Amino acid sequence: MRPAASLIIFTTLSGLGLGLAALIGLGYLEAKSSQWIIIHAAMCLGLIGAGIISSTVHLGHPERAWRALSQWRSSWLSREGVMAGLTTIVLAGYFLDQLYSGVARPWLGIIVSILSLITIYTTAMIYASLKTIARWHHVLTPVVFVLLALAGGCLLAAALQALAGTASTAPLDVPLTQWGIGLIALASLVKIIWWVNAGKNGSGSTPESATGLGGLGEVRMIMPPHTEENWLQHEMGFVVARKHAARLAIIAFILAAILPLLVLGLYPQSAALLILAAAIHLAGVMMERWLFFAEAKHTVTLYYGDRH
């Protein structure tokens, strides 16, 4: 699948914003002043909003985007839209309430967290629900999305905390930076399991089943229906060389996991380094997301000479 910048930005930024929101909802990050409430709100809503705006750029008709809220009963994209909207509203309410009342209401925070996690899940399910793309159609796909969002959120929260100079309010008395280490490690582990396994056995479809000509033997495409690339091939026929992909995966791993882990482990107090780590992590996740698209093969390519 062609990695579209708009979708990479959408899934990574809104994931990061929602991850942060989930942690804030759980009370991981206390705002020491109303100024900080506004900063937290701006971070969460800004990231989520940027993601959503980016996703509409991808549309042929962004002005009709509101229509996408209607089909939540069957469509994960619609559900994502609804959930993103709902979460944004509740999240905004949560911050406003906090701003006016001066207290963060835990029960509302829990709702925010749950909504945020569900939203990340719905984002992931847009992809994971597609049977046509075996790589994505895997139980761990949403887990990876959620864990990466939380890990990123945690890293960002730790940075914000260091910047504000407040003490950790994280549960079990474990500092955010250590939660960060745990979440990044877990996300990496799950991602690696996913990377190795997802779609390994293909979609179950082959050129033979795609054409129904398997009875005659191995099926090869000899002439495409058109000699220049069409939209389908442009969109779904994108291929990345295996060697190239492996190299990128390692870089993504270093950026998204290794470097942030080093910072978290070695300089947990340095706000500057934590901010840098969060940025590097985001770049790594974007690369991960690029590969998520680039390495995914769609069954339609079976009609264009591909074997999965």
For the beta carbon of residue 217, count every other beta carbon within 10 angstroms.
Answer: 8
Q: Which is nearer to other proteins, 61 or 243 (CB)?
A: 61
Question: What tokens were used for 204?
Answer: 């179950």
Taken in order 161, 175, 187, 141, the sign of the CA dihedral is negative
CB of 241 to other proteins, least distance (A): 15
One residue of 5, 93, 105, 218 binding other proteins per CB under 8 A? 218
Nearest residue (CB) to other proteins, 278 versus 294: 294
Q: Is residue 241 at the binding interface for other proteins, with CB under 8 A as the rule? A: no
Smallest separation (angstroms) from other proteins to the CB of 221:
6
Of 167, 238, 169, whose CA–CA distance to 1 is shortest?
238
How many residues bind other proteins (CB under 8 A)? The answer is: 62
Distances (CA, A) of 252 to 34, 170, 265, 281, 289: 36, 28, 19, 9, 9
Residue whose token pair is 């934590």: 274
Rule CB under 8 A: choose which of 169, 300, 306, 307 binds other proteins: 300
Q: Is 236 in the site for other proteins (CB under 8 A)?
A: yes
List phi, psi (to 5°) of 298.
-100, 145
Q: In whole angstroms, give the CA distance from residue 207 to residue 219.
A: 6
Q: Which stretch binds other proteins (CB under 8 A): 39-47, 86-94, 141-149, 204-212?
A: 204-212
Binding flags for other proteins, 27-66, as an x/- string (CB under 8 A)? -------------------------------xxxxx-xx-
Least gap, CB of 114 to other proteins (angstroms): 22
What is the rounded distance in angstroms from the CA atom of residue 47 to the CA atom of residue 10?
Answer: 9
Q: What one-character DSSP code corresponds to residue 297?
A: -
- Residue span 107-126 as binding mask against other proteins, x where in contact by CB under 8 A, dash where not: -------------------x
Task: Report how far apart the first and last C-alpha atoms of the chain are (Å, whole number).
Answer: 13
| Stretch (H or E) spanning 115 | helix 106-128
CA distance 126 to 130: 7
Phi, psi of 133, deg, nearest 5: -120, 95
Query: Which CB, 59 or 110, lies closer to other proteins?
Result: 59
Q: Does 6 bind other proteins (CB under 8 A)?
A: no
Site string for other proteins, 153-192 (x = CB under 8 A): ----------------------------------------
When asked if residue 220 is in the footprint of other proteins (CB under 8 A), the reply is yes
> How far is it, in rounded angstroms, from Cα 84 to Cα 123?
9
Do 92 and 48 meet the contact criterion of CB atoms below 8 Å apart?
no
Least gap, CB of 273 to other proteins (angstroms): 39
Q: Quick one: tokens of 154?
A: 């945690």
Part in contact with other proteins (CB under 8 A); list of ranges 12-20, 107-115, 217-225, 280-288: 217-225
Binding mask 64-103 for other proteins (x = CB under 8 A): xx-xxxxx-xxxxxx--x----------------------
Sites of contact with other proteins (CB under 8 A): 1, 58-62, 64-65, 67-71, 73-78, 81, 126, 129-133, 203-205, 207, 209-213, 215-232, 234-236, 298-300, 303-305
